[in-house]
Structures are given as C-alpha cells and as structure tokens.
C-alpha cells in the first residue's frame, strides 16, 4: 500500500520522476552530478532541493512522521556543560532501551560512550541517520561522503529497518550506481 504518491517535478535542470513511498521499501535516487560552470546547479545542491520539495508535498499527510535527515545532530548549549553520549541520547531523546541501543550500534563502529559533539563527520552523519530513522516513519537521507565499508554497514542497517516497516528515500551519486533488490527500488535523476 502506498503511503503517498509524489507527482513528477522539476528542480532547475533536473527532472524528478513520479514515485510512491511504501512501508518496508526504500527508493534510491541516483543523482547525476556534473558541475559545469558557476551558473549551473550541481547534483549535491539539487538533492537538498529535491528533499525539501518532497517534504513540502508530504506535509498534507500529518498522520505520518517524515524527516529529512541532517548531516549531524544539533546539540544545545547545555551539551557543552554536560556532554551527551550516544547511549544517553538514544535512551533519553529517542526512548530506546539498552538492548535496542546495542542492537542498532552493532551495525557500526560507533560506541555507546562516544560523546556526540566530539565524533567525526562520518560517525555524526551515521548517528543522525540512526536517530532520524528510529524517530520517524519516512526518512530522507543521502549516502554522500561514505566509504564503501561505511555504505555497506549503513545499507545493512537500513535493510533491517525496512523489515520493521520503515519507508526510506535515499540519494547517491549516479556514477556509483548499484543494483536494486526486492525492497530497494532504483530511480535515476538526470539533467534534462
């Protein structure tokens, strides 16, 4: 059953095809990234614009929680006084128990005692994805900047979340395109 159908739309010189979002499925957009000159849009910027457009279209469906995943979790002023660990955040902000936290982190190299604001870019981005997926029904995220090893770990985690009924819309560079699978559907976004 479709959670939502999104009609085709254009962002600058990119055409996003019509698509639907379903529970337990991941739609993986492969975005053509060809920076030409200063006046053209590249695929990294267009991916953010596409996410914003999808979220705007989705606001009509208030019964579902959709979230466009940032590159890192925002921490407040008090975090500098009392730094929050990964474990604390997942238990207190996301309301997960010890077993669930251990299960989630087993996919990655992130440890429960890591201080969020002190983690490197890769771990911050992965942690932001984890937090977003655990808190929302539909999540938009990108694979930009991950090594093949990190992308594989993230994909394994995402596949586990699909089995739980999460719906995911993901973005990556068209030049690293992989095949789809039973629960992962592929769409290309090209310059027209």
Hey, how many other C-beta atoms are within 10 angstroms of the C-beta on 99? 8
Distance, CA of 17 to chain centre: 19
pLDDT, tens only, 21-34:
889 999 888 887 76
- Which of 34-43, 97-106, 148-157, 172-181 shows the highest mean pLDDT? 97-106
pTM to 2 decimals? 0.85
pLDDT digits (tens, 9 = 90+) for 64-122: 677 788 888 887 777 778 899 999 999 999 999 999 999 999 999 999 999 999 999 99
User: Cα–Cα distance between 23 and 26 in angstroms, integer?
Assistant: 8
Q: State phi, psi for 43 to the nearest 5 degrees.
A: -65, -25
């Amino acid at each position: 059953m479709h959670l939502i159908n999104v009609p085709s739309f254009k962002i600058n010189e990119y055409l996003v095809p019509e698509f639907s979002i379903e529970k337990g499925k991941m739609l993986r957009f492969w975005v053509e990234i060809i920076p030409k000159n200063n006046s053209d849009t590249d695929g990294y910027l267009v991916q953010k614009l596409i996410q914003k457009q999808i979220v705007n279209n989705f606001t009509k469906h208030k019964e579902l929680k959709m979230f466009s995943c940032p590159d890192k979790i925002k921490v407040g002023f008090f975090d500098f006084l009392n730094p929050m660990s990964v474990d604390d955040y997942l238990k207190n902000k996301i309301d997960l128990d010890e077993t669930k936290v251990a299960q989630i982190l087993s996919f990655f190299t992130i440890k429960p005692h890591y201080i969020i604001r002190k983690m490197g870019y890769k771990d911050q981005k992965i942690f932001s994805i984890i937090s977003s997926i655990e808190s929302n029904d539909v999540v938009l995220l990108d694979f930009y900047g991950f090594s093949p090893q990190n992308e594989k770990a993230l994909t394994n985690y995402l596949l586990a979340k699909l089995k739980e009924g999460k719906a995911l819309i993901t973005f990556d560079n068209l030049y690293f395109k992989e095949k789809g699978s039973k629960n992962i559907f592929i769409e290309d976004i090209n310059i027209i």
